[in-house]
Homo-oligomer: A and B are copies of this chain.
Amino acid sequence: MMAREMAEQPQVLQRLLARCSEVHAMVREIVLARPAGIVLLARGTSDNAAVFGRYLLEATLGVPVGLAAPSLWTRYDRHADLRGQLLIAVSQSGETPEIERIVRLVQAAGASTIAITNDADSPVATAADGSIALHAGVEQAVPATKTFTAQLVALALLAGALTRRDIPALKDLKLIPALQNELLSDVEGVRSIAASRLVGARAAVVVGSGFLYAIALEAALKLLETTSLPVLPYSASDLVHGPIAVAAPDVPVICFAAPGPVRRDVEAAAVAARDRGAPVIWISERLMDTDAVDEHLAIPGTVAEPVVALLHAVRAQQLALEASRAFGVDPDAPRGLQKITPTR
């Protein structure tokens, strides 16, 4: 199921992109002026999509964007004054009671609320002032794949709608479905890396920076879920301070890099990892200038950040899928994990 759902992504994104003007109309009805700030609310995989949104929305709108601390709302009953703010709730199923409850509390606190959920009639979507339904179809595998990339696209559409103008950085979105198809048929390299670098590893580290930090978080979560391997995600700058201590010959370091201003930070992290004897798996459109790379997984095309994250996300999914197969684990239902999030 995971493989099939991954393969559906280009179509899901194509359909979502075709609904761009519908999303813009919805947003313009709800958000009448530039919000003073934006708060993103999510858990698990959706929280990784929210980290992408955190960078994208602050970069495009120029207002402070943060992630909600759910426990302050539902456990400590501390409800911040969010008048003039926009809350964006991201939930795959839209059925997490905690998320629904916070959406209602935030509305009472004065904020506008927009939900991003798979279906239009989910409890979270119904609670919010407006919603973007992903219409990604039923997702049965425990590791979320097509809904994750659809969440990233929905956040990009939202950023475009909120700025009320075309964002040059997002114009390449229409190239993504074809490039994802290209990627999805290119699995030989991933399979070989899973078998030679991840089987037998004691742990793994995943590195990303800027817009790809969210992809590093998601790759770590997916790999950990499907293989039970301890997988630690870091931004490049954080890794090279203390956590680099964990890099070792049996702890490979997986790097997500793209053309752009943080590429050199990820390169520095790769060099530091190699200095400690860790195998470096480099996922990028081209190799580094140094020879600190043991394995290279290519990203096709010439798509720039932030949109290129939608291609790196597929590489992350492929790594998790092929690693679970190499580990002899059922990727669709690894170690008895549940699909629906019971947080109340």
Contacts and interface: CB of A to CB of B under 8 A. Distances in A.
A58 B78 contact: yes
A245 B232 contact: no
A246 B229 contact: yes
B76 A69 contact: no
Interface string A53-65: 0110011001111
Contact of A64 (B37, B235, B240, B243): B37
A69 B85 contact: no
A77 B230 CA distance: 34
How many copies of this kind of chain does the complex include? 2
Interface residues of A, number: 67
Contact of A237 (B54, B55, B70, B203): B70
B242 A44 contact: yes
Given A37-B37, A55-B72, A230-B232, A241 B62 contact: no
A241 B54 contact: no
A242 B225 contact: yes
Interface string A242-263: 1111101001000000001110
A140 B266 CA distance: 28
Contacts of A78: 58-59, 62
B237 A224 contact: no
Nearest to A64: B80
Contacts of A14: none
A105 interface: no
Interface of A: 36-37, 39, 43-45, 47, 54-55, 58-59, 62-67, 69-72, 75-82, 85, 98, 142-143, 202-203, 209-210, 221, 224-225, 228-230, 232, 235, 237-238, 240-246, 248, 251, 260-262, 265, 334-335, 337-338, 341-343
18 contacts: A44-B238, A55-B72, A58-B78, A58-B80, A59-B72, A59-B76, A62-B78, A63-B80, A64-B82, A75-B210, A98-B237, A202-B230, A224-B243, A224-B245, A225-B243, A228-B248, A241-B337, A241-B343
Given A59-B76, A71-B261, A72-B210, 20 more contacts: A44-B241, A45-B242, A62-B79, A63-B81, A64-B64, A64-B80, A66-B66, A70-B237, A71-B209, A75-B265, A76-B210, A76-B260, A98-B237, A202-B202, A224-B242, A224-B245, A230-B230, A230-B251, A240-B342, A244-B337
The 3 closest A-B pairs by CB, nearest first: A66-B66, A203-B230, A75-B261
